[in-house]
Structure formats: structure tokens, C-alpha cells
Amino acid sequence: MFHKEFRAVVFQNVLILCASAVLWKQTTATATQVTRPRGVSLARASLYIPDSDFTCLDGSATFPFRYVNDDYCDCQDGSDEPGTSACPNGSFYCRNLGHEAMVVPSSRVNDGICDCCDAADEYQSGANCVNTCKELGSAAQEEAQRRYELESQGYAIKLEYINKGKQAKQSQQERNMALKAEQLEAEALRSEKEREKQEAEEPERQALDKYRQIEQEAMKEKEEIERSQRESEASKAFDWLDSNQDGKLQVEELQTHTAFDQNQDGTVSPDEAKFFLHNEEEMEKDEFVTTGWPLIKPFIMKAQGVEVPSQPEQQAGEIQLPEDHHQEEPIPETEGEEGEEEDEEHEEEGEIVKPSPVTPSSIEYDAETQAIIEAANKARNAYDEADRRLRDLEREIRQLEESNSKDYGPNEEYQPLDGQCYEYSDREYTYKLCPFDNGSQRPKHGGSETRLGSWDSWDGPEGNKYAAMKYDKGVQCWNGPQRSLKVHLSCGMENQLLSVSEPNRCEYEMKFTTPAACSEPRKPNDGDSEVHDEL
């Protein structure tokens, strides 16, 4: 190991004379000369004083100042070799006059590659570096100026947005207050109408009680008529099928009716016929009326071309039972062609005619009861209307409060985006973003829209939460999570969806520009960043 005193001394503290007057403080306009070793920034110049010992910036050691930049690494943090590549962890500062000052790892010093535009990093390598700071500086200046102008325009729009957002908030609050007042009135009115309804319904209930018994009797009568009608129909059918009139239905009797040819082979086999006799050889009339006829009737109807209702209890379709049981099942007359006289005629022939239904609504109330019912109806309608009005108001208040509780940014600048939608298409999909509502995806070549997520919250990094939005609880991904979407916002003159990607399956990212994301632009500096950087 070399001792410091014997090692080859290559150190040469380069005194950089700031040719251009550097303003140490804006308040003191006097030009000062600052001397500092190679690779040290203006900000750190005061830590490198040639007349005194040098203490490593991490405080780990102190030694004579000549060890600084002697091409031997003495400090653990590399701070004694800012201008050489001796320390693996050192940093080299280039002034880059005319452009932006820059810090590069000191390992790049004299490595033959030009890193600094002022070529300061290659002072001994022989690399042919040219100072390009002036050109780069002016290109950067132009770019900065262009950005400044854009940002200024974007920011002007943002100020309008802030205005709109604040106005919207104010009018929402006013509307909310007005609605709340209306709500109180509507509640009072509904209570009044509810009381009136109860008052009107009580006499109605009493009056209708009297009729309830009548209604029940009417219902019973109706059921009785229907039952006897069913029995009479079944009885007629039995007599018609019982061709030998022996009071029993036999297999042979059913075999003469093609309606029972279930496998459509042109004949009714004994088994086919027995099926309708509950697999017996014969059936008595009583059994036929209760359980035989409901089984047989649909087959007869079908043979007659009458539509068979799906519910067994609806099987009151009209059928004709001809006198002559040997002929094929007749086709019934088409609906509407039969007059009343014909009905009577058919009844003689065995056609079953449905009775006119007796329902509670057919009950006639006396004039006094009728008036009571009408008054109660009127009170009910008035209550319903008051109730509807109150519920409409409550809904509007809820929507308003929901919108009011949304965070539209520190100054309401994002409020004008609520209610708008923006689209972006790639090869496969058209994506849509409706800020504060949802994001979706629609295949370009047909197919339905898929929701990628609904508005959840701001999702930027700590200290900059308004830089991104989160939309979640989208449509479940096949064999995967629910879809979700993150929207990265940046300043732009227009509200525009710039790109969409799906970095992980069913996790989407959008880039969106909006004037609402612009901040107040700072005038670009004159290209010499050291003054600004280091003040």
C-alpha cells in the first residue's frame, strides 16, 4: 500500500475561475471569483478550501488539502476525488456553461467518452470532445420556450375550469338548499295526505266488510259452476267414448279413436289405449270424471286442432264431441265464426261452453259505498302523488350530494370533465373514458362494451395524488380478477386520451392530457442553469 507521502502525485487542483460573474445571491449583484477543485459544483465550493485541511463530506476522515483530486481515493464517500475517476462512488460536476449543469459518476472521467457537453470530463483522455453546450442550450431553450407557451395556454384554460368548477359547486349548494326546503314541505304534505288517506280508508274498510261475504259467496258460486261444468263435460265425453253404453270404458272402445295413437303408426295399440285407463282394462265413469278425463282431454283437443294450454287447470278449451263415435275427431270451427245460435246448437251436440266468469269486480256497490270507495281512491291517489314527489326530491338531493362529495381537485379544476367522455382506438378496441364515472372497452369489429372500472379515487403518488385516477370493480376477467383501470394525467392544451395499455391481464392504464393538470408555468431561464440551480 502506498503511503500518501510517497505516492505519485497527480493531483492538481484546478482552479476554475468563473469567467462569467456568478450571482452568489440575487440580492448582491457584485461579481465574485470562486475557486474550486475540478468536478466540484458551485454549491459545494465552500467545502473545498485550499488553505485548510479537507474533511470528507461524510465526515469520515480529514487530511491535507493536497490529497483532493490526487487520483487516489481517500474518502469512503469518494468526496476527495470529484475530478478524477479514482473513487468508484464519486461524482463529477460539469458546469456546461450555456446549457444545463450536470453531475456524472466520476468513473466516467477520462474514460474516452464525452459525457459533459463542455467536454470537461475528458480533460486528459485525448478524446476528441467538442463543446456543444451552446447549441444544446439554445435547442433546450427553444423547447423550454415552446413548453412554456403551451403550458401557459393550458394554464389559462385551467383557470377557466377552476372558475366553472367553483360556480358549479356554488350552484349545487344553492340547489341543494332549495331542495332541502322543498323536502320539508313535501314531507309535511305527505304526512297530511297520509292522514287523509287513513281517514278515508277506515269508512271504506267498514263499508267493504259488508260486501266481503257477498264476494265470497260469489266466488264460491263461480267455483261451483266451473266444477259442475267440468263434470258435465267429462260426463258427456264419457258417454261419447262409451260406445257400447255399458257404463264402462274399455280398451277396445278407446282403440277406435285415432287421437290415442301416440306413436302415430296409424293404429291405437292396446297398450296405448290402456295408458288412458290407468293401465287397467276398463274405467268406471266416476274415476273417468275425476282423473281420466283430465288425462284424455288434451289428446282429444290436439286431434281437433285446438291449442292445448300448458297449465292443466286451464284445460277449459272448447271441444266438440260428435254423436257418431266412429268418425274421425272433428276439427272445431274457427274462432269468431260461431254465433249465439250456433253455440246453443253445439251445446246439444256436446260442445262445452265456458260460463261467463263471476269475479268480485262484477259486484255492484250501492251508491253510498261507491262514493266512499271513490273518496278513498282519491285520497290514495293524492297520497301516492305526494309520496312520489317526496321520493323524487330525495333522489335529486342524493344525486346532488353524491356529485358534491366528489373530489374535483384542489381548486375544482377537474369538475368540467365530469359528464364528458373521451375515446381512443387501437387495432382491436375503442376505449372510452368518462372521468369520474367509468372506463370501458368495445371491440372494433362488433361485440358488446366491457366495463373496465368505475370511478373510485385519486391515485397519484404521495404528494401528487391528483396525478392519477383509479377506476375499479370492472367486469370480472375470465379466470382472473375484476378489471381495473389507472389513468395518468398530464398537462395538455386539450382533454385527450393519448394511449391505452394493458400491462397486466385485465389491468389497464390510460394516458390522458388535460388543461386541468397544468401548473402555473415558470418562465424558462437563460440557459445557464448554474445560477438558478445553485442559488
Which residues make up the interface to ligand MAN (CB under 6 A)? 441, 450, 477-478, 502, 505-506
Record the cell numbers describing residue 378, joined without a space: 282519491
CA distance 125 to 257: 116
What is the smallest separation between the CB atom of 144 and ligand MAN, expressed in angstroms? 39
Name the closest residue to ligand MAN (Cβ): 478
Record the cell numbers describing residue 79, joined without a space: 468526496
End-to-end CA distance of the chain: 42
CA distance 442 to 423: 10
361 Cα distance to chain centroid: 48
One-letter amino acid at 469 equals: M
Contact criterion met (CB below 8 Å) for 245 and 359: no
**What are the phi and psi torsion angles at 192 (to 5°)?**
-65, -45
3-class DSSP state of 178: helix
**What are the phi and psi torsion angles at 280 (to 5°)?**
-110, 175
**Nearest of 347, 506, 375, 531 to residue 441 by alpha carbon:** 506
CA distance 491 to 489: 7
One-letter amino acid at 44 equals: R
β-pair partners for 488: 468, 511
Whole-number Cα distances in Å, 430 to 330, 434, 460: 63, 13, 25
One-letter amino acid at 426 equals: D
CA distance 280 to 270: 11
**What are the phi and psi torsion angles at 362 (to 5°)?**
-80, -5
Which runs of E-coded beta strand occur in 174-258? 248-250
**Nearest of 95, 102, 113 to residue 38 by alpha carbon:** 95
Each as own residue / partner, the long-range contacts of residues 372-378 (CB below 8 Å, 24 or more positions apart, any chain) are: 372/200, 372/203, 372/204, 372/207, 373/204, 373/207, 373/208, 375/200, 375/204, 376/197, 376/200, 376/201, 376/203, 376/204, 378/200
Task: Tally DSSP H helices, then E strands, for the chain.
Answer: 8, 14
Record the cell numbers describing residue 78, joined without a space: 469518494
Vertex 100: Cα angle to 99 and 104 (nearest 5)? 125
CA distance 345 to 280: 36
6 Cα distance to chain centroid: 75
